[in-house]
Amino acid sequence: MRITPLGDTALTIELGDSIDESTHGRVRGAWQALQAPPLPAVTELVPAYTSVTLFYDPYAAVQAGAPDAGIVEWLSGKVRERLKNPPKSEKVKPRTVEIPVCYDGEFGADLGLVAKHTRLSIDEVINRHCKADYLVYLIGFAPGFPYLGGLPKELNAPRHAKPRMNVAPGSVGIAGNQTGIYPLDTPGGWNLIGRTPLRLFTPEKDPPVLLRAGDRVKFRAISAGEFAKLETSR
């Protein structure tokens, strides 16, 4: 474990140097241990692929007992202490979230391209996309946007050289070895293979996002009729 300053108001706790499930497990463990109860002067925690970043208020740290000239050392000490003796808490089991996806018609506008690139039939692309287990490594880029691991190698397809100006919310895409879901209407260069009627970002809700770091994800193919039904009932 390595603790690196990220500017003068954050520290990054490095827990590995590759994107894999065992690193993710350590990230998850550290994140949970640092969460409750919160360390003094810490304003928020941000997990990523190989690290947890802790944001702090230097003035609050000094008020909580840090020496003026040793805030980083003081806070790093608290982090190490906490990670050595994590508070007893129930292991939170990862949730599995099923995402219904309609792969039909315009929703899967780039399915043909992906099929051509991967030399699979369209049905086989859909099949393999649904069959795989995915892990949400982190949420970022946009509210509720999941960085998913677990796309089968044979489904890799390059992103568009020229991004679309508008991608509808709920669009499911493939780019390189990644698959993801667009939470907002944004420009985007991924191959669009389907769309989910679920909302990934609902500001009125707490938490405001459907997916969280550490969740397991499964895609389930649905018909256009089911899509319409789910969309109106959400």
Partner 1 sequence: MITVVKPGLLTTVQDLGRPGYQQYGIVVGGALDGFSTRVANLILGNDDNAAVLEMAQTGPDLRFETETLVAWCGADFEARIGNESLPRDRPVRIAAGETLSFGFARSGLRAWLAVAGGIDEPLVLGSRSTYRRAGIGGHQGRPLVAGDQLAAGKLSERSQQLLGSLHTQGRRATGWSVRPQTLGGAMVAGTMRAVIGPEWDWFTAESQQAFFSTEWQATKEADRMGVRLQGPALELVKPREMISSAVNTGIVQVPSAGQPIVLLPSRQSVGGYPRLAAVAAVDVGRFTQLRPGDKVRFQKIPLATAHEIHLARERELNLIRMGLARLTA
Q: What is the dihedral of CA 138, 177, 110, 222, to 10 degrees?
A: -60
CA–CA gap between residue 70 and residue 66 (Å, rounded): 7
CA–CA gap between residue 62 and residue 38 (Å, rounded): 16
8 touches partner 1 (CB under 8 A) = yes
176 touches partner 1 (CB under 8 A) = no
175 touches partner 1 (CB under 8 A) = no
> Which stretch, 94-102, 116-124, 134-142, 220-228, contacts partner 1 (CB under 8 A)?
134-142
3-state class (DSSP) for residue 47: strand
CA–CA gap between residue 8 and residue 184 (Å, rounded): 32
> Which stretch, 88-96, 112-120, 139-147, 216-224, contacts partner 1 (CB under 8 A)?
139-147
Q: Which is nearer to partner 1, 85 or 203 (CB)?
A: 203
5 touches partner 1 (CB under 8 A) = yes
| Number of residues near partner 1 (by CB under 8 A) | 49
Count of all residues that appear for the chain in the document = 234
Cα–chain center distance at 220: 19
Dig out the tokens for 69 from the structure.
Answer: 């000239």
Binders in 77-116 for partner 1, by CB under 8 A: none
Q: Which residues bind partner 1 (CB under 8 A)?
A: 4-10, 12, 17-19, 43-51, 53, 55, 58-59, 62, 68-72, 138-145, 147, 183-184, 186, 201, 203, 207-209, 212-213
